[in-house]
Amino acid sequence: MNEHQKHPADPIRAAGCVLWRSAPAAAGGLEIALVHRPRYDDWSHPKGKLKSGEEPLAAALREVAEETGMACEPGAPLPTTRYRVADGRPKEVRYWAARAGAGAFVANDEVDRVDWLPPAAARRRLSHVHDRALVDALLAALPSEAA
- The pLDDT, as a whole number, for residue 7 is 59
Q: Is the CB of residue 60 less than 8 Å from the CB of residue 70? A: no
Predicted TM-score (pTM) of this structure: 0.89
- The pLDDT, as a whole number, for residue 3 is 46
Q: Which residue type occupies 82? A: R
- The pLDDT, as a whole number, for residue 10 is 87
How many other β-carbons are positioned within 10 Å of the β-carbon of residue 18?
29
- The pLDDT, as a whole number, for residue 46 is 98
Q: Which residue type occupies 18? A: V
Interacting residues of 57 by C-beta distance below 8 A, sequence separation 6+: 15, 74, 94, 96
Mind listing the pLDDT tens digit of every residue in the chain (147 residues)?
A: 444 445 567 899 999 999 999 987 766 689 999 999 999 999 999 999 999 999 999 999 999 999 999 999 999 999 999 999 888 899 999 999 999 999 999 999 999 999 999 999 999 999 999 999 999 999 999 975 454
CATH number of 3-141: 3.90.79.10
Q: What is the DSSP string of the chain?
A: --GGG--TTSPEEEEEEEEEEE--GGGTSEEEEEEEETTTTEEE-SEEEPPTT--HHHHHHHHHHHHHSEEEEEEEEEEEEEEE-TTS-EEEEEEEEEEEEEE-----SS-SEEEEE-HHHHHHH-SSHHHHHHHHHHHHHS-TTT-
Q: Is the CB of residue 75 less than 8 Å from the CB of residue 98? A: yes
Which of 42, 40, 20, 41 lies closest to 29 in space, CA to CA?
Answer: 20
